């Protein structure tokens, strides 16, 4: 187990912002969530999965919904005042109470600027360690997009809490697809956001089904961004190089239409090329997270590879904050191995999202 300093936690969130692939919530939101802990100079304990007690329980708190720039785009019937406190912690406590156990650690559900911060925030509030693993290794649109699902780990019992103080326990649920539908529906009538805590499991079970070291990897990416910026270097290129990725495009956002649909932010980003890419064009299609990127009309990368956006200041860009005139670099990073399997591609490959492309790893597609 090791302790993360305030600087470490900031770097971690920026790294998660890159791995958020346009989703996962903004880094700014995550930093704001953690500010009270930063102000106190608190540290965060990071525990390796191997250190988790075999028979003690861990659980996964996170936010779910459409991380829209303007909530007014979504019809959600929000007529109640928010209550104080953390809905994620409320969901975490709710599941503990229902199961009559005390969780020994907090697990992240995906790597994103806000969603990883949810897990960090709960860990700091409750004095628990954060597990150095993740069931996605990136940000993902739906609840089923996890290695928990690939390993047939039950999502229920799960708890859901709104910012209005509502707490719901789903003792049983038909499957992860049904859980996705139920939780997304609750988010749609709760300001298009809800906090969830699910997949309670023992340390032994957790070790066997997650991507080990995912938090440390995000921290490394955040450090790479910061150090490149301090040296005046190309942060996007530095991340691509250290992560065995590639720079796909440099351009200026021309237009970025989007809408909130069914609890998801869905849209496209059009860029005109600059520098070595002058005269070329780029189009990104997303459902919360970036799904496919087209260069001059031809697919250059698709999910589950990570299509990441970094602005001229070396900061990750999230959807739909992306606005016309923004200068950014599009990079692609290799997908975590579980998503490249037949089972992984069945739920996180391009066909699952209605994209008429076969998954070809970006480094083979662009030879």
Write out the chain's pLDDT in tens, 367 residues. 999 999 999 999 999 999 999 999 999 999 999 999 999 999 999 999 999 999 999 999 998 876 554 444 444 545 666 656 789 999 999 999 999 999 999 999 999 999 999 999 999 999 999 999 999 999 999 989 999 999 999 999 999 999 999 999 999 999 999 999 999 999 988 888 899 999 999 999 999 999 999 999 999 999 999 999 999 999 999 999 999 999 999 999 999 999 988 889 999 999 999 999 999 999 999 999 999 999 999 999 999 999 999 999 999 999 988 999 999 999 999 999 999 999 999 999 999 999 999 999 999 986 6
Measure the CA–CA gap between 280 and 90, rounded to whole angstroms: 49
365, 301, 268, 183 alpha-carbon torsion, rounded to 10°: 140
Instruction: Please state whether 65 falls in left (phi above 0), alpha (psi between -120 and 50) or beta.
Output: left
Q: What is the DSSP track for 36-95? A: HHHHTT--EEEE-GGGS-TTSEEEEEEEEE---S-GGGS-----SPPPSS-HHHHHHHHH
For residue 104 the two structure tokens come to 């020994």
The whole-angstrom separation of Cα 44 and Cα 232 is 29
C-alpha distance from residue 225 to each of 13, 30, 39, 208 (Å): 11, 17, 23, 31
Q: Residue 188: CB partners within 8 Å, gap ≥ 6?
A: 65, 74, 76, 262, 263
Tokens of 43: 């540290």
Element (H, E) at 123: helix 115-126
């Amino acid at each position: 187990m090791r302790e993360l300093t305030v600087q470490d936690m900031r770097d971690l969130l920026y790294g998660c912002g890159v791995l958020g692939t346009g989703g996962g919530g903004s880094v700014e939101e995550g930093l704001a969530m953690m500010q009270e802990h930063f102000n106190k100079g608190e540290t965060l304990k990071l525990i390796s999965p191997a250190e988790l007690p075999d028979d003690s329980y861990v659980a996964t708190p996170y936010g779910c919904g459409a991380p829209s720039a303007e909530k007014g785009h979504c019809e959600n019937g929000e007529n109640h005042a928010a209550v104080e406190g953390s809905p994620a912690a409320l969901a975490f406590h709710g599941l503990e109470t229902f199961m009559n156990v005390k969780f020994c650690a907090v697990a992240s559900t995906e790597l994103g600027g806000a969603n990883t911060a949810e897990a960090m925030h709960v860990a700091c509030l409750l004095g628990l360690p954060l597990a150095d693993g993740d069931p996605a290794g990136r940000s993902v649109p739906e609840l089923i997009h996890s290695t928990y699902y690939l390993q047939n780990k039950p999502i229920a019992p799960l708890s859901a809490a709104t910012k209005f103080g509502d707490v719901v326990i789903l003792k049983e649920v038909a499957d992860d697809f049904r859980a996705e539908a139920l939780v997304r529906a609750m988010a749609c009538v709760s300001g298009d956001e809800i906090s969830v805590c699910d997949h309670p499991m023992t340390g032994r079970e957790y070790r066997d089904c997650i991507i080990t070291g995912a938090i440390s990897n995000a921290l490394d990416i955040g450090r790479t961004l910061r150090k490149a910026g301090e040296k005046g270097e190309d942060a996007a290129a530095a991340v691509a190089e250290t992560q065995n990725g590639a720079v796909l495009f440099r351009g200026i956002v021309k237009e970025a239409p989007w809408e909130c649909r069914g609890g998801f932010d869905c849209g496209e980003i059009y860029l005109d090329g600059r520098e070595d890419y002058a005269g070329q064009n780029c189009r990104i299609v997303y459902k919360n997270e970036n799904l496919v990127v087209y260069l001059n009309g031809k697919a250059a990368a698709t999910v589950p590879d990570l299509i990441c956006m970094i602005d001229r200041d070396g900061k990750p860009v999230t959807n739909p904050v992306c606005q016309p005139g923004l200068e950014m670099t599009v990079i692609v990073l290799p997908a975590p191995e579980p998503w490249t399997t037949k089972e992984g591609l069945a739920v996180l490959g391009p066909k699952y999202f209605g994209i008429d492309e076969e998954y070809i790893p970006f480094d083979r597609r662009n030879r």
